[in-house]
Amino acid sequence: MNTVFTEATPIKTTDISLKESNGTSGDLRIYDVDPAYVLENTRFLLWTRQNPTEFQELKIGDVSKLTESGFNNDVPTKIFAHGFTDNGHSLKFVMNMRDEYLEREDCNYIAVDWEPLAIPPFYIRATTYSTLVGEQTGNLINFLVEQGADLKDFHVIGFSLGAHVAGKAGATVNGVLPRITGLDPAYPLFSMENTDQRLDTTDAEFVDVIHTNSGLIILGALSFPYNIGHVDFYPNGGTSQPGCGLILSLSIVNLSVVCHHQRAMEYFTESINSPTGFTAVCCDNYQMFQEGGCSSNTNALMGEPTNKTDCVVFYLNTNSESSYAMETSN
């Protein structure tokens, strides 16, 4: 159920001057919130092979609820954090990823459902909430580890603002997460300099990133155009995706932009069980890749099967519709 924000909602605002990462500056309203309020509106929903369609809710510190759930300390745990305007209980992309993981292996699949804190049009407010949601997610992982789970079995995945939730979770855990995957990490109001608020390579042993709508917001892009992981993948150049239509500048709510942005989730979800795989090539830029100048370079699989390599930047092309993975000659 959505929370309706009213004047009674426990939020206070202060005006500060913030230089945005795209080079413009202005006065933005930054929201300070009560962590208890964020915890109240953040849910952790668990699916396993024993309950593949009906979630069980986990609560930080609630041992009895954890014991009664199907959570298994002996299998991998996948945690997914959604982005702005989304939810973690019924969104098609969240459910598709759940189904692919449960088909692939016996695992715990947990969705971080912070829908009441990510409702439109309050994007600025949601960016502030995302940090605290990430802290709560890290606290959940700490709790699960205290109850016998192995930190080495955790993989946190986040889309858009959820990528920064994942990053903050990694910064909060006691120890080092083995892996975080950022799916088109949100760029507006974030910067390269402020790594405390965004996903970066210190948040896990291995951070892999998929860019599908990267660039400046003034050009109709929503995600980071820069490398922020140990390995960054740029399918179809990383800015626009085939089959999604033309990007119109300054069109944040344009359905075309949403399509380009969400392709990161679709590619990753397909990669979980793809018989083809998303083969990418290490290359300095997309033009060089397109011209065949990197054909002899290192290859890597984008998505779930990827691993850390000596190369940071990879390019690949995809099909314009599902199945997106493209057969290669290699």
Active-site residues: which are they?
160, 184, 261
The answer to whether the CB of 166 falls within 8 A of the CB of 156 is yes
Half-sphere exposure of 266 (CA within 13 A, CB side): 20
Q: Describe the crossing of helices 161-172 and 123-146 by its angle, rounded to 10 degrees.
A: 40
Q: DSSP string covering 71-106, please?
A: --TTS-EEEEE--TT--SSS-HHHHHHHHHHHHHSS
The answer to whether the CB of 280 falls within 8 A of the CB of 301 is yes
Residue 61: CB atoms within 10 A of its CB come to 10
Positive or negative: CA dihedral 317, 321, 323, 328: negative
The residue type of 226 is Y
The residue type of 245 is G
* d(C-alpha 131, C-alpha 133), whole Å: 5
**φ, ψ (nearest 5 deg) of residue 185:** -55, 135
Q: Describe the crossing of helices 92-104 and 255-271 by its angle, rounded to 10 degrees.
A: 10
What does the radius of gyration of the chain's CA atoms come to, in whole angstroms? 19
* d(C-alpha 279, C-alpha 303), whole Å: 10
Positive or negative: CA dihedral 36, 37, 41, 42: negative
DSSP three-state, residue 230: coil
Place of tokens 């290192």: 298
Distant-in-sequence, close-in-space partners of 245: CB < 8 Å, separation ≥ 6: 255, 256, 259
